[in-house]
Structure formats: structure tokens, C-alpha cells
Amino acid sequence: MLTPISNRNMIEIHRQQRLSQMLTETQVQISTGRRLQRASDDPVAAERIAALQRAQNNGATWTINIDRGLAANAAADSTAQSLIDNLAGARELLLAGVGGTASPETHETYALQLEGIATAIDRLAAQKDVSGAPLFRSGPANM
């Protein structure tokens, strides 16, 4: 049978154990710099933290996607300008070739230059962006 003194001693022992546990948790919080060690410490705060982490991750992903899109746009713009320049050169050669003043050797030179332009256009049309995807879609357009 427990006497009142031993009962008080047991209560004091349990109180000391709780204080020791609280002291240990506080020391862990101080040493790690984190108030929450597990989600059960404060479920509402843990959910807020998780929501903030998701928002930060989404923001980082969006930034990466925007940067990739801007890079792909710049590459497509540069390639399109090169295509325009090549097509303008081909037009000039074609117009020069249809005039009746050029000799057969000149026509042959124009033909060789046009073959070079066609090769350059094929090469430009097949370019890929930094992720390996084609800059320009091939096939019918979907509108």
C-alpha cells in the first residue's frame, strides 16, 4: 500500500521527468533552430510550413520554366532571322537568274549557291532547343 509520502514522491518523480523531457525538447529546438521537430508538435503550423514549401517549390519551377521558354524563344527568333536572310538571298539569286543577261556559267554558280542555301535552311529547320526538343514543329499546323 502506498503511503501519502510515497505518493507525493511518485508525483514529484513524474513532474521531474516531464520537466526533463521539456528541457531536452527545448535544447533540441535551440540547437537545430527549429521550433517544430515533428508535425504533431503543432499541426496547424506544420501545415502552414508545408504550404509555404510547396509555394516556394512551385515558384522555383515556374522560374525555371520561364527561363527555358525565354531561351527557346530567343533561339527560335535567331533561327527565324537566319531563315529570313537565307530566303532573301535565294530570292535575289532567283531574280538574277531569270533575267536573260546571265551566262550558263553564271546560272551554274546561282544553282550551286541555291543548293547551299537549301542545305542551310534544312539545317536551320532541324535545330533543337537546349532541352533537345525541335525549335520548329514539322507536319501540319493545328489551329
| Model confidence pLDDT, tens digit, residues 56-103 | 888 889 999 899 889 888 988 999 999 999 999 999 998 888 877 878
Query: Looking at the whole model, is its pTM more than 0.85?
Result: no
Cell numbers describing residue 56 = 516556394
Instruction: Convert the pLDDT of each residue in 3-24 to its tens digit.
Output: 667 788 888 888 888 988 888 8
All residues at 6 or more sequence positions from 86 whose CB lies less than 8 Å from its CB, including other chains: 117, 120, 121, 124
Give the separation between CA 142 and CA 53, rounded to whole angstroms: 38
Radius of gyration of the chain (CA): 37
Give helix 104-125 / helix 43-98 axis angle, nearest 10°: 170
